[in-house]
A and B are shown apart, each in its own frame.
Chain A
Amino acid sequence: MKTTANFQDADGFYELLIDAHADMSPEQSELLNTRLILILANQIGDSALLRECIEAAKDLSI
């Protein structure tokens, strides 16, 4: 799993992401997020890497 920035444009992505949720109900936002996770997961594909990403995201201790 990459832990340093791999974005071509980090700020641009972040803005795109939150703009996508603008004017959405919480239900619509949730659907967008879950759809996005599944679409992105398919871009990765690699089982070990996906597992590592999920484990990293699960660590809520910070």
Chain B
Amino acid sequence: MRPETPSFAKVLYTNGYEFTQGTGYTLPEYPFVSPPDLHSNQVLRNAIVIVGGGITGLTLACSLANQGVKAVLLDEDNTVGVKGASSRGICYTQKSLEIFERLGIYKRIAAKGVQWSVGRTFAGKDEVYSFDLSAQSNFNLSAQPPFMNIQQFYIEGFLVERIAELGGVDLRWNSRVTGFEQNDEFATLTVQTPEGTYHIQADHVIDATGSHTPFHAWTGVSMQSTKGDDRWCIADVRFNTHPPVERHTWIEAPFNENRAVWQHLMADDVWRIDYQMAPNADPAYVSREDVVRERLERQFGKEVKVDIVWVGPYAYKSQCVDTLQMGRVYFMGDTAKVVSPFGARGGNTGVSDADNLAWKLGAVLKGWASPALLDSYNVERLEAAQENVRVTNRTARFLRAPEGMERSFRHAAISLAKQYPFARSLINTGRMAVANTYTRSSICADNGGISLQNVSLSWRKGHNGVVNDLLNWAAGRLVLLSFGTSTQAGLRRLRTLTEGTPLRCVQVVDTLTPPQAREHVIDTQHRLRSACQLQGQGWALVRPDGYLAATGHRVDGSLIEAIANTLAL
């Protein structure tokens, strides 16, 4: 009898790296350290085993380490990036940067990366419209910029070093998972290493292995997939000229047979030029060096010297599992969903997936929350995954509008956008990733489920701080922001009510009102209060991932209920 073919096998095309070329980068290499499992007669049990050391798996590992939660991470090779394919994600959103700030690697990213805020969209020879993100008020509250561009492997490398610094997470390189089974009590993984094969048991397995994951077949998870005929070819290059520090997108580029082109900057003066190819183009042909050079010459001219760092053809597809949890296995990053890169909704979503599950695992393992809290990971991040798939699919349709009515409407939208601002909203060259809002999560109140930005505030004596400082101080506990003045009796009442709960209380005052609590911060311009969408007195319950769980006006049973609810108690 033939085994049933899992549904992913049919759609699994390459967005892999078999045709990649270029001089690339020298990536760091990490040593294989013989784990105790290889020298033990027993199979050792771990609370958390993360499989895959990409940006998602490493963010989870770092976020766990930051809370003092132990875990093992297994990665199949000995470096960050993918061998021979050092460029993948390049654009990191404010929410991701806020997470990296909390994990202690933001300063390194900011020092290496490139900030940009101006984007221009062209069709033919004309500019259709441009935008300046720094002028948009929805990005203004955070201490981090709207976006930063940097090669993905840099962030991964920073995470590896930060994890080593924090300790508690065992990063195991050259450790390929080749087998998996699970029962009511634990999961067992088979791990292949240069020194032999061993088994490891886990209470929770996190699959962060990427789009080619074996766990889909091992768990039998069902999924929704679509695969189009759209083909792209990326060229990461260095020039002897310096294009402006802006994102340029062409919907119809005259130098690319009227197909789309992306021009994006990264660290080290490397530019990513992403060319849309003819439908069903042959990946081997379009990524051949002479073909790539000719394409670059058409865009930049013969006189420009081009150094090719990396070339990779892509067939964009979208895929989303129907559930992020199969028994003890949690899917995140590209094992949860695969999207086209439009709007930077791939890696950034993975980072938020990791940050979402990390505090929940921590709270459950420390006995602060009910194990049912882990179910909310699926509810919240599946909503995010589905939303990100929907948004990127719309962009993909706009950019690969077939001849006929779809092309006619796009043509109409472009022609109108040159004349009238309203039509610019129809031009879809990618909707930049945002911190997704959770509308279906039972652990969020109706007024919660939104990401609180990393707002600047002042400590006592005028030292500058940010919301992340409060979250790190709470170390995996909830943070209760209490806005406005209080009486000593009121503070006592708050203390009594919240005693024994994993919670840290902070009074938030403006400069005019003297604080009553020792733990207080100063919010002179009411930025924090407005980020919490509160008016006047009241409280905001903030989760360790910087999301608002609930807000309220009175310190009473409703607060106790909100705390219990947020921890699924």
Residues of A within 8 A of B (CB): 30-31, 34-35, 37-39, 42
Known contacts A39-B420, A42-B422; 16 additional CB pairs below 8 A are A31-B408, A31-B411, A31-B412, A34-B408, A34-B409, A34-B411, A34-B412, A35-B412, A35-B415, A37-B409, A37-B412, A38-B412, A38-B413, A38-B416, A38-B423, A39-B416
B217 within 8 A of A: no
Interface size class of B (residues with CB under 8 A): 10 to 19
Chain B 398-439 near chain A by CB (<8 Å), digits 1 or 0: 000000000011011101100010110010000000000000
B412 nearest CB neighbor, chain A only: A34
CB pairs A–B below 8 angstroms (22 shown): A30-B408, A31-B408, A31-B411, A31-B412, A31-B415, A34-B408, A34-B412, A35-B412, A35-B415, A35-B416, A37-B409, A37-B412, A38-B409, A38-B412, A38-B413, A38-B416, A38-B423, A38-B426, A39-B416, A39-B420, A42-B422, A42-B423
In this complex, the member of A30, A34, A37, A39 whose beta carbon has the largest number of chain B beta carbons within 10 angstroms is A34
Query: Within the complex, what minimum Cβ distance (angstroms) separates A12 from chain B?
Result: 24
Chain B 436-450 near chain A by CB (<8 Å), digits 1 or 0: 000000000000000
- The CA-CA distance from A35 to B415 in the complex, in Å, is 8
Query: Within the complex, what minimum Cβ distance (angstroms) separates B139 from chain A?
Result: 25
Residues of B within 8 A of A42 (CB): 422-423
- The CA-CA distance from A39 to B411 in the complex, in Å, is 14
Residues of B within 8 A of A34 (CB): 408-409, 411-412
- The CA-CA distance from A61 to B105 in the complex, in Å, is 61
Shortest beta-carbon contacts, A-B, top 10? A34-B412, A35-B412, A42-B422, A34-B408, A34-B409, A30-B408, A38-B412, A35-B416, A38-B416, A31-B412
Residues of A within 8 A of B409 (CB): 34, 37-38
Query: Within the complex, what minimum Cβ distance (angstroms) separates A4 from chain B?
Result: 28
Residues of A within 8 A of B422 (CB): 42
Query: Within the complex, what minimum Cβ distance (angstroms) separates A32 from chain B?
Result: 9
Residues of B within 8 A of A39 (CB): 416, 420
B413 nearest CB neighbor, chain A only: A38
Residues of B within 8 A of A30 (CB): 408
Residues of A within 8 A of B423 (CB): 38, 42
Query: Within the complex, what minimum Cβ distance (angstroms) separates A39 from chain B?
Result: 7
In this complex, the member of A31, A38, A42 whose beta carbon has the largest number of chain B beta carbons within 10 angstroms is A38
- The CA-CA distance from A38 to B415 in the complex, in Å, is 11
A39 nearest CB neighbor, chain B only: B416
Residues of A within 8 A of B415 (CB): 31, 35
- The CA-CA distance from A59 to B408 in the complex, in Å, is 22
A27 nearest CB neighbor, chain B only: B408
B411 nearest CB neighbor, chain A only: A31
Query: Within the complex, what minimum Cβ distance (angstroms) separates B240 from chain A?
Result: 42
Residues of B within 8 A of A38 (CB): 409, 412-413, 416, 423, 426
Query: Within the complex, what minimum Cβ distance (angstroms) separates A14 from chain B?
Result: 22
